[in-house]
Amino acid sequence: MTEQEEEKLIQDEFDALLRDYANTAHKQKVEIITKAFQFAKHAHHGVKRRSGEPYIMHPLAVARIVVNEIGLGSTSICSALLHDVVEDTDYTLEDIEESFNPKIASIVDGLTKISGGIFGEGASAQAENFRKLILTIPEDIRVILIKMADRLHNMRTLGSMAPAKQLKICGETLYIYAPLAQRLGFFKIKTEFENLCFRYEQPQMYQRLENDLKKVSPKLDDTFHNFTAPIERRLNEYGLKYTMSSRIKSPYSVFHKMQTKNITFDEVYDLLAVRIILDPETPEREKSDCWLTYAIITSIYKPHPDRTRDWVNTPKTNGYEALHVTVMGQEGNWIEVQIRSKRMNEIAERGIAAHWKYKTGEHEESDLDHWFASIKEMLDTSDLSNAIEFMDTFKLNLYASELFVFTPSGDVRKMPTRATVLDFAFALHTELGFHCIGAKVDHKLVPASYELHSGEQVEVLTSKTQQPMIEWLDCCTTSKARAQLRTYLKSEIRERSDAGQRRVEETLTEAKQRVNAETIEAVRKHYGFSTKEELYYNVGAGKVDISDAARLFEKSKPGKWTRFWRLQFGTSNKSTEQIHRIIDPKKDKSIDLTDSELGTTYQIAPCCNPIPGDNVLGFVDDSGTVIVHKLDCPEAEKLKASFGNRIITASWKTQKVLSFRATISIMGIDRPGLLKEIVHVISDDYNINMRKSVFETNDRIFSGTIEMYVFSADDINTLCHKLLELKSLKEVKRID
């Protein structure tokens, strides 16, 4: 591309930005935006992105997202254009303030402090980076919104990155940015984050589901028109102004449902949802029009008794307002209908930016304001030494569904689902939490560990003599309660960890082993803990008995059966004859999983038990061993987000020498001889070794699980299809 062509490309993109801005209701301040563009263009002159395009195209793209998809104004546009200037060029924050104004400089400063998270080496291994990101929320929400736009554009252009870096970036995005977008009300951005991550992490599955959705789209269109026709007639009779549209599940949403429910694509029955957006004549009619629409729909179709959601009278913490009702359609499928006003829809589409636009009072505080305050309090008391623990604590505040409980005086308090009395006590006041001994729920005495339900009235009971106990951590679910308890109990946790460390070292000494990183690592892996600190704490707390750890180091000549077992089924234990090959993630960006290197170079993660054919990644642990996880394993998601620079790509190159453990579940209608036929297919037709089987019959419904050893995922898939050919079997699938 010539210099003239580059100049035209850049100018065209800037002109498009100005057109986008002109179509908004913001007061037009084109002069300062043009100045910011010229400043950034000069600062980034000659610099290219990995894709080969001029670097200034990235800030321009971020600015367009800020305008079109988030709905911010000139200050945010200027900040988006300048967001990489201080970090990547010789210009300083003082230069920005002098050329523009303190507010723009302040936002650029906030963006610079949290930079490096997506492409920075080592940044994802530090919880401090995320802490900086979240701490900007209460100070100026525009910092986090522009950062979200920055992340969205980087995700849209992720194809130019190396595969291992793609996994790291997707891990961060799926673990933090997607739930953050949801919590701030940006559902479209959240959905795009999830789909882009899915597309890069599992391209074949993504393409398959996208094709499946295209195939069923014509039928879903017909269903939509047939379903909505009688609703439209009744709405028109009442003179309501409205628009109606359909919403089809995204590929990621379908995949997530298939995974969590253990079902096939054909069994996902809620692919279609209907959205009705009302335009009331006056703001006062907003709620009544929503409920009138609800009454019309439920007079035509039967509602599901447990799937009506009223977020009109009690909005979500992120400001979302709507009525959701699920009804039975003409074709025998459940269809969700979302009822909103135009104002509610703008809040749903534009998130927090629109929510603040509709505030009526200058000093009015929303649930989001309270949430920001609680986030800051939680961060101020969090222990940042353990990145995964910190991330988990923060994530509790992001993805939790909500329930509503009442105080004794009748005030409504929102709590996350599965919250306990102890969580509620800490939500009211830290001192109430520290001295909580139980509660009266609907006037009945319950313990502090009691799990709350929507609609209950809760009176916290306290005692001055009550002090926090370490066991309370097991019955707290909210980030605030856990953070406050960990701060209070820090010394006791340290004491237990120290005691556990002494016990581990004594056990190693008794087994005549050296106390070093290698032997401690062997004990940690044997008992399945993520870190040695976690091992020490659980041993010190008496939750794990390591008295048999000495057997890990017993040396004995393997017998004939042992040798046969290793040949047939593999082992993740390193023999004395094996040489441990250490992997360096800085040099080795990928690994081929071969039969000969199982146990020496890589190990199978017990949490998800991947087998050849599964989409996997590798995590390089402290000893240089690669732990192989399924791509969609929850533990792998944490590792990608918190230790992204230890993630490497992995591919199977096994030669069908080693077998791997897998489990299938079977369900059908019982009849004489069915079990014999199942065993015949598995053992005789496919020569597969069964490890364990459990079956039961209840009212002629036959169900069970079979654990077996197979060479690959293809073996399992072929077997499942063959078993489904048996008369009476209705469902056969692999489970973890």
What is the C-alpha separation between 530 and 394, in angstroms, rounded? 19
87 is catalytic: yes
- Pairing state of beta strands 590-593 and 647-652? parallel
**Which residue out of 87, 377, 459, 707 is catalytically annotated?**
87
Q: Specify the length of the chain in residues.
A: 736
Ramachandran region, residue 514 (left: φ > 0; alpha: ψ -120 to 50; beta: rest): beta
Residue 2's CB is within 10 A of a number of other CB atoms, namely 7
Pair 351, 185: CB distance under 8 Å: yes
Tokens of 338: 């979302």
Residue 543's CB is within 10 A of a number of other CB atoms, namely 10
C-alpha of 67 from chain center: 26
What is the C-alpha separation between 494 and 201, in angstroms, rounded? 39
**Which residue out of 20, 88, 521, 595 is catalytically annotated?**
88
Instruction: Kindly report the backbone phi and psi dihedral angles of residue 335, in degrees, each rounded to the nearest multiple of 5, phi listed first.
Output: -125, 125
What is the C-alpha separation between 291 and 293, in angstroms, rounded? 5
Tokens of 579: 């040489």
Residues 6+ apart with CB under 8 A from 595: 570, 654, 655, 657, 658
Task: Provide the β-strand partners of residue 246.
Answer: 274
First-to-last alpha carbon distance for the chain, in angstroms, is 51
Q: Residues 98, 99, 104, 105: is their CA dihedral positive or negative?
A: negative
CA atoms within 13 A on the CB side of 521: 10
What is the C-alpha separation between 614 and 652, in angstroms, rounded? 9
Query: Nearest Cα to 648, choosing from 640, 637, 656?
Result: 640
Pair 678, 666: CB distance under 8 Å: yes
Tokens of 349: 């589409």
Give the Å distances, CA to CA, from 614 to 202, 412, 588, 608: 10, 47, 21, 11
Give the Å distances, CA to CA, from 137 to 96, 145, 151, 172, 350: 22, 9, 16, 18, 17
| Three-state secondary structure call for residue 258 | helix
Tokens of 244: 């109606």
What is the C-alpha separation between 436 and 466, in angstroms, rounded? 7
Residue 351's CB is within 10 A of a number of other CB atoms, namely 29
DSSP 46-96: T-B-TTSSBTTHHHHHHHHHIIIII---HHHHHHHHTTTHHHHSS--HHHH
Question: In 621-689, which ranges are continuous DSSP H helix?
Answer: 634-642, 674-679
Tokens of 460: 């916290």
Tokens of 430: 């830290």
Q: Order across the sheet with 444-446: list the strands.
A: 444-446, 436-441, 458-462
What is the C-alpha separation between 627 and 103, in angstroms, rounded? 47
What crossing angle do the helices spanning 203-237 and 187-201 adopt, rounded to 10°? Answer: 150
Q: Which residues are catalytic?
A: 87-88
